[in-house]
A = this chain, B = another copy of it.
Amino acid sequence: MAHDEFSLIRQWTSRSDGQEGDGLTVGIGDDAAVFAPSPAMEVVACCDAMVETVHFLKETMRPSDIGYKAVISNISDVAAMGGLPRYALVSIAVSPGWSADETSEIYEGIYAACDAYGVRLIGGDTVSAPDALHLSVTVLGEVEQGRALRRSHAKPGQAVFVTGHVGSSAAGLHLLLKQKDPNSRFPAELQPLVEAHQRPAAQVTAGRLLLASRSCGALNDVSDGLASELWEIAEASGVAIAIDADQVPIRAEVSSYAAEAGKDPLDWAFYGGEDYQLVGTAEADGVAALAEQFAAAGIPFAVIGSVEASADGKPAVTCARAGRSMPLAKAGFNHFGRRE
């Protein structure tokens, strides 16, 4: 940042001025922010980075989408603990290819995501970068003492579920990469896929429902693709997970677009990532009640498999498709051809 751009930074973050109160003692503008944790709650803390050319391209994401999604990916991590997001700190490194207007739009996206989830921006850092734009977001939330939902709590006999739909973000990215313009308009039935990629939602309500149910075992968010998240649960819990491919919830629009594009929609679901849905396990005798609660809340909830004891002491994830069960490869999110 040039020294005379300090006033711009002040302008970008001025929405956070005078927001003290409701637990926030010191907001943005001092050396650090200070807040009072809610009684009987623990603090949940996570941090995710998004880097131009690695995690996003100007050709597929508008500046406001970039800010929005960087916040959402962290809120999603808090949701995956069953927590409530409260505060965000944003560190942004802006390279010469980004105008002041574009940077201002990134902040607009950051604030839009914060507003949508009741999160307050309480601090951060704005610096210059030589080449690619970098965004690193920390979100702080809270969760009832000792109740955070862990990756490691899957047990044999539990059902495996996922919220919402998976593979939509990867389908949206596929559409956007063909157009190379983040403002492209697509046919109405494809627009939701593009929105799933540019403006994903975080499953905070689902996470709170799961925590309150007391029947949730392990929980993870789908940031790197369903396969990678299932493997994380299997490894952290020391169990085997068996998935039924036919039960994986994929939007009809994703399947039909995949057919047209010559792609397998399950590849997008398993290896696409950035769906920010929740995948987890639940007690077999509690899963029907959970499904009812999700239906009442209007959140899709699908049972996609089950947890089994690890046969040889090794974690495993298998997927049954067309009558054959195969090990599910562990690959993670493939960003523009790089393995992340």
Contact indicator per residue, chain A 11-48, by CB within 8 Å of chain B (1) or not (0): 00000000000000110011111111100001111111
Q: Which of B81, B125, B146 contacts A136 (CB 8 A)?
A: B125
A43 touches B140 (CB 8 A): yes
Question: Is the beta-carbon distance between B131 and A131 smaller than 8 angstroms?
Answer: yes
Q: How close is A8's CB to chain B, nearest CB, in angstroms?
A: 13
- Chain B residue numbers with a CB within 8 Å of A54 are 93, 127-130
Copies of this protein in the complex? 2
Which of A187-195, A246-254, A285-293, A331-339 lines the interface with chain B? A331-339
Number of interface residues of A (CB under 8 A): 73
**A308 contacts the other chain (CB 8 A):** no
Instruction: List B contacts of A48 (CB < 8 A).
Output: 91, 125
**A336 → chain B closest CB, angstroms:** 11
Q: Which residues of B contact A125 (CB under 8 A)?
A: 47-49, 136
A124 to B77, CA, bound (A): 12
Q: How far is the CB of A110 from chain B (nearest CB, A)?
A: 13
Can you name the residue of chain B whose Cβ is closest to the Cβ of A45? B33
Q: How far does the Cβ of A208 sit from chain B's closest Cβ, in whole Å? A: 15
Give Cα A78 to B87, complex, Å. Answer: 17
In the complex, A256 has a CB within 8 A of chain B: no
CB-nearest residue of chain B to A83: B32
Cβ–Cβ < 8 Å partners of A331 in chain B: 3
Q: B residues within 8 A CB of A50?
A: 127
Q: Could you name 27 residue pairs across A and B whose Cβ atoms are closer than 8 Å?
A: A3-B332, A3-B339, A6-B332, A25-B42, A25-B148, A30-B151, A30-B236, A31-B78, A31-B221, A34-B43, A34-B44, A34-B83, A34-B148, A36-B42, A37-B42, A37-B43, A47-B125, A48-B91, A49-B125, A51-B129, A54-B93, A54-B128, A55-B127, A127-B340, A131-B132, A134-B134, A136-B136
Further pairs besides A1-B339, A29-B151, A36-B145: 15, Cβ < 8 Å: A31-B78, A31-B81, A32-B80, A32-B141, A33-B44, A36-B42, A37-B37, A45-B89, A47-B89, A47-B91, A47-B124, A47-B125, A49-B91, A55-B127, A130-B132
